[in-house]
Structure 1
Amino acid sequence: MPIFEQYNKSFLNGQWTEGKSERVGKIINPYDESEIAAVKLATKGQVKEAFEIAKQAQKEWAKTTADERKAVLKKAADYLKEHKEDVQKTITRETGGTAVKAGVEIGLTIGLLEQAVKYAGELDEIKEISDPIEGKVNHVHRLPLGVISSISPFNFPMNLSMRAIAPALALGNAVVHKPDLQTGLTGGVILAKAFEEAGLPKGVFNMILTDLEEIGNEMLENPIPRLISFTGSTPVGKLIGRIAGENFKRVALELGGNNPFVVLSDADVDRAVDAAIFGKFIHRGQICMIINRLIIHKAVYEEFKQKFVERVKQLPAGDPSDPNTVIGPLMNKNQLNKALQIIEKAKQKGVNIALEGRAEGNVLTPFVFSEVDNSSELAQTELFAPIASLIKAETDEEAIELANDTQYGLSSAIFTTDLEKGEQLALQIDSGMTHINDQTVNDSPVVPFGGNKQSGMGRFGYPWVIEEFTVTKWVSLQTKYRTYPF
């Protein structure tokens, strides 16, 4: 048993703390539906307590030196490296992630910590600005925001949690973090254990294992946090936006996606197929950046379709602990049923099926629909499952128009042999990120990661994340006596 499965408690004020609710939450293996851990849920009162603890702890944490904060971040990264095998086992057991997914997730998480080390000293940099008033010197300081409320989802829980937590801590903030209970170990326990072993002062990072039924909107409405970081669905993001607006809180939101993968008339079809297979089916389609629509120019449509379907047929499905598996289980029965309902609706509407999959337990083998209408419900739905929609474009220009015909704007991709044209067209796609001759699932701690339209607000990645997690302060020093008009 991976070592982290023994920690089935919240982490409050530096202590592993049992929830005070009478309710018990279960963490279930999505592949065989066995119980991994039972968790007594934290109550709304414990969440309030966590914010109070964080508020007090942050005052001292903000006074630490950059070197002190860097040392903690480095030690947390080292802890994850030392326990990489156990971390990967937990990711597979708890999220249903394959060996590839587990390796990608821990690599990204360690990368976030190591990058945060590099900018922990940003608080020490003071910018001086000249002034027309004689004797006035202007200094611009960066200060921590204070306390951050962090909420992460079930799909890439460790990485999407650390994306907010690492910069928040590096920049002198404290954090109250609630992972999705389904992946409470990967999204919460592992991180808390890493920071505990790294010597983070108690109360600076608090992790809550609970659910919405127990705590309601306390993570959003509590008056202490200055910023709410959330990765998840657009409807929930809209709710957070309303509450944050009413309370003048900042938000960092990464929400839904309907990401287009555009294959232009001059594309290398074989390479486009390679990229599309990975970008559609990694983590069985349960990623916000996943390819949702494959938009292919008519000149290469039939060739792409034939080669894509043949490759999809060969993808191994089943037990995610098997290193050869590509298609593991969906997260739970609810996610499976949602996918099956989408498939059934498309069938009823007569959408052409190029490849029909099947459900075995929570494992759904891939479905490929072809000649899909971009305005259809199938094309306009964020699928979050191994379901591919092939859409034919008459021209390259129409392909870009179809790519933009969605309420979302997270990630996108264009395949072309003309890189200059590709970059020009990339600027015409209304999304936060466009990748030329690659697929849509790309992340890095050193790029401006985030979406447009209903895919979110704010940008992660250095240096853009610094603006999100600090407040700018102007201090002026009048070095010569100033005369006033009255």
Structure 2
Amino acid sequence: MEKIIKDLYIELKKEKTNLITKVNLDSNIEKSDLEREFEDSLLALKGLPIQANKLLQPEKVFVPNYNKKAIISRIPKGKILQILPSTTPILSCILLPLCAAIIGNEVIVKPSSKSKSIALFLEKFFKKENVKDIKFEIGSGKDFLLKILKEDYNFVFFMGSEENGKEINEYCNKREIEYFGEYGGNDWAIIIDGDLKRISDKIAENVKFKEGRDCDSIKGVLINSEVYEQFVDLLKINLKDIKINENPVDKEITNPEFCSSLWIKKFSSEEEILSLYKKNKHGLSSAIFCKDTKKALELAKKINTARVIINSDTLDINPLIPWGGIKSTSHGGVDYWINKFSNKKLIEIS
């Protein structure tokens, strides 16, 4: 598998421009955003064999109370179905099947329609390399998905909306198939002060790219009352075709729509911010924009999210670094996915 990954890395680099053009037509996602995602995918691909080898090494442990030695190893789950999201059409389509296959699983991949071109490229590449453990089911619609689900699986992994995920979970439960779903999140940005034009551009970039359908989509913006009017004017220019809710009620803040929309709210104190965060059932990431880095850092320590970005790109997630949400939020990263697509096996020696 290591040679396959190395060859794929070379082929992807060669076909980068062509693939980005095709995925742009499939997805209508900006080429600059796809370029960033493509580079993240290459970075993760390059590091995948090293990380996998490290994770899959058997771990020797000693159980002193029982005077036993034990070996903990990771074994494949078997036949896996991956139902992948539309928000990361390149990265998820390249990385997740390989994270499962490198352990020894048989992987059936149902990519989103936005991943069609990258899926066709991978399908052709794996066929040429005689890789039989990764197969793509390319199609769309509920009937197509139900047809795929009728096969026998040991594990079904889903990324997407909570509504669709719950339906698939119910189907798997009836057939006694292990299921795991990664649903949407509810990430917020906090604007204290700074270059408001630049900040507005960053928030708009996330909202347009993620379309409110990914775990790290920014769904709400808390804005310092001192800069509120100026920032909202800039945001409305950037997001002229997207719904902005200026008077959100608690339900809209804690359970936002799974679509391209954004709520905004004025704050006057840190206590108001922390009070709202207590109501958020998700906890993946937050963005804080503030001239005073020390002040931002102190606030970051008090916010109950797994990841806080200070004065940086809200789309910056490195797939080589494991990330995990607090509360009801998804996780990710190469280490996490390899662990998720395998089972632990314990062998004790008396």
Residue in 1 that maps onto 2:156: 228
Instruction: Tell me the amino acid that sits aligned with residue 259 of structure 1.
Output: D
Name the CA distance, whole Å, in 2 between partners of 1:135 and 1:285.
54
Residue in 1 that maps onto 2:231: 304
Shift of 1:474: 1.6
Name the CA distance, whole Å, in 2 between partners of 1:476 and 1:262.
51
CA RMSD of aligned residues (A): 3.2
Q: Which among 240, 243, 247 is matched to residue 168 of structure 2? A: 240
Shift of 1:177: 0.8
Pick closer, same or farther for the CA change 1:267–1:380 going to 2, 3 Å.
farther
Shift of 1:118: 1.7
Determine whether 1:201 maps to 2:128. no
| SS of residue matched to 1:224 | coil
CA contact (8 A) 2:211 2:217 kept: no
Pick closer, same or farther for the CA change 1:213–1:251 going to 2, 3 Å.
closer
CA contact (8 A) 2:184 2:213 kept: no
| SS of residue matched to 2:323 | coil
| SS of residue matched to 1:440 | coil
Pick closer, same or farther for the CA change 1:378–1:419 going to 2, 3 Å.
closer
CA contact (8 A) 1:88 1:99 kept: yes
Pick closer, same or farther for the CA change 1:145–1:129 going to 2, 3 Å.
same
| SS of residue matched to 1:299 | coil
Instruction: Tell me the amino acid that sits aligned with residue 49 of structure 2.
Output: V
Name the CA distance, whole Å, in 1 between partners of 2:130 and 2:47.
18
Name the CA distance, whole Å, in 1 between partners of 2:21 and 2:147.
32
Shift of 1:70: 0.9
| SS of residue matched to 1:130 | strand
CA deviations 1:160-204 (Å, max 9, x no partner) are 233421211222222001123x3352352122223234x2432x0
Name the CA distance, whole Å, in 1 between partners of 2:290 and 2:333.
27
| SS of residue matched to 1:434 | strand
Pick closer, same or farther for the CA change 1:184–1:394 going to 2, 3 Å.
closer
Greater Rg, structure 1 or structure 2? 1
Pick closer, same or farther for the CA change 1:196–1:120 going to 2, 3 Å.
farther
Determine whether 1:402 maps to 2:332. no
Determine whether 1:137 maps to 2:64. no
| SS of residue matched to 2:107 | strand
Size of the aligned set, in residue pairs, is 350
Matches within 5 A, 1:375-414: 375=250, 377=252, 380-382=255-257, 384-385=259-260, 387-414=261-288
Name the CA distance, whole Å, in 2 between partners of 1:390 and 1:281.
16
Instruction: Tell me the amino acid that sits aligned with residue 202 of structure 2.
Output: A
Residue in 1 that maps onto 2:347: 475
Determine whether 1:258 maps to 2:258. no
Unaligned stretches of 5+ residues in structure 2: none
Aligned-residue sequence identity (percent) comes to 23
Pick closer, same or farther for the CA change 1:76–1:200 going to 2, 3 Å.
farther
Name the CA distance, whole Å, in 2 between partners of 1:126 and 1:377.
47
Name the CA distance, whole Å, in 1 between partners of 2:130 and 2:278.
45
Q: TM-score, normalised by structure 1?
A: 0.63
Pick closer, same or farther for the CA change 1:439–1:123 going to 2, 3 Å.
closer
Pick closer, same or farther for the CA change 1:284–1:72 going to 2, 3 Å.
same
Pick closer, same or farther for the CA change 1:195–1:110 going to 2, 3 Å.
farther
